[in-house]
């Protein structure tokens, strides 16, 4: 049985039509003990069709309403997935300071000069190595310069995008960067998530891949959440059997859940 899905989107995110309640009901029906609602906040997102912003009050009210109905059967963590870009860190800090969250995922969705990774412009004229290298450099910069988060989201999901025939990451080529990223996270007592959406998007595994999950552990990392990054109820806990297997293989026996942005460890194995 799976314990918690810690990365879920509802219709408070511009790219999902799913009412939060549908995700909660589905989570209970598959036996989850906990779910984190983590809708998008991406200040200055370059695509005006997807503003990726929500008002805190109705968001929080909806979570409170659902807690009253379902709270005895499932714990609902009030989370958010925040898109980090260096020039919006001031706005993010204000947003996070003024609003209560149990759990915060920091993600890099947009890279320097406003390139949305979902749009292929970023990759034009770059070799795969150049593009991946720039992405990891920016993640490192964000990790070093931003503090108010609990886990970094889908840390290697650059392999989901671009027009390269082979999008796989040769981790040995970027280890000088990914080791710095993981070490910086560990030093700041931050975690990583295992984001299983990679299976749905054809990456052939979760984000990050096993090599980075294992490396995070080797370097002393302890904080791991598991999330499907679902935008539809049917994808809740998708491929969690694989994620749990990888956790075990990498030497983890616990996952983290969060209360008021503090980790609580749940023993899995």
Three-state SS at 36: strand
* Residue whose CB is less far from Zn ion, 79 or 251: 79
CB atoms within 10 A of CB 100: 10
Phi and psi torsions of 261, nearest 5°: 70, 20
Distance CA 46, CA 48 (A): 6
- CA-to-CA dists, residue 90 to 95, 105, 184, angstroms: 9, 17, 21
| Part in contact with Zn ion (CB under 5 A); list of ranges 74-82, 93-101, 110-118, 260-268 | 74-82
| Part in contact with Zn ion (CB under 5 A); list of ranges 146-154, 159-167, 200-208, 246-254 | 146-154
* Residue whose CB is less far from Zn ion, 112 or 175: 112
Contacts of 61 (CB under 8 A, 6+ apart): none
* Residue whose CB is less far from Zn ion, 155 or 250: 155
| Part in contact with Zn ion (CB under 5 A); list of ranges 94-102, 138-146, 177-185, 225-233 | 225-233
Size of the site for Zn ion (CB under 5 A): 4
- State the minimum distance, in angstroms, from the CB of residue 42 to Zn ion: 9
Instruction: Report the residue from 107, 178, 196, 225 that binds Zn ion according to the rule CB under 5 A.
Output: 107
Beta bridge partners of 263: 258
- State the minimum distance, in angstroms, from the CB of residue 153 to Zn ion: 5
- CB-based contact 217:257 (threshold 8 Å): no
Instruction: Report the residue from 103, 108, 229, 244 that binds Zn ion according to the rule CB under 5 A.
Output: 229
Residues that bind Zn ion (CB under 5 A): 81, 107, 153, 229
């Amino acid at each position: 049985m799976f314990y918690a899905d810690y990365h879920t989107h509802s219709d408070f995110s511009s790219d999902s039509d799913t009412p939060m309640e549908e995700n909660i009901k589905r989570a209970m029906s598959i036996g989850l003990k906990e779910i984190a609602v983590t809708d998008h906040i991406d200040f200055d997102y370059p695509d005006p069709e997807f503003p990726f912003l929500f008002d805190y009050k109705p968001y929080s009210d909806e979570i409170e309403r659902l807690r009253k109905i379902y709270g005895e059967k499932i714990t609902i963590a009030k989370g958010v997935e925040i898109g980090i870009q260096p020039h919006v860190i001031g706005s993010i800090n204000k947003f996070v300071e003024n609003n209560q969250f149990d759990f915060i995922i920091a993600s890099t969705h947009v890279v320097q000069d406003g390139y949305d990774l979902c749009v292929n412009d970023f990759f034009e004229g770059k070799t795969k190595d150049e593009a991946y290298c720039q992405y990891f450099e920016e993640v490192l910069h964000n990790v070093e310069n931003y503090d108010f988060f609990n886990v970094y989201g889908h840390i290697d999901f650059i392999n989901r995008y671009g027009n390269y025939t082979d999008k796989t990451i040769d981790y040995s080529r970027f280890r000088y960067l990914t080791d710095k990223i993981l070490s910086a996270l560990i030093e700041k007592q931050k975690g990583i998530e295992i984001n299983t959406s990679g299976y749905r998007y054809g990456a052939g595994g979760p984000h990050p891949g096993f090599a980075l999950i294992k490396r995070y552990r080797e370097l002393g990392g302890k904080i791991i959440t598991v999330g499907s990054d679902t935008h539809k109820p049917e994808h809740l806990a998708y491929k969690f059997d694989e994620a749990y297997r990888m956790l075990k293989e990498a030497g983890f026996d616990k996952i983290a859940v969060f209360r008021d942005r503090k980790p609580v460890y749940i023993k899995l194995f």
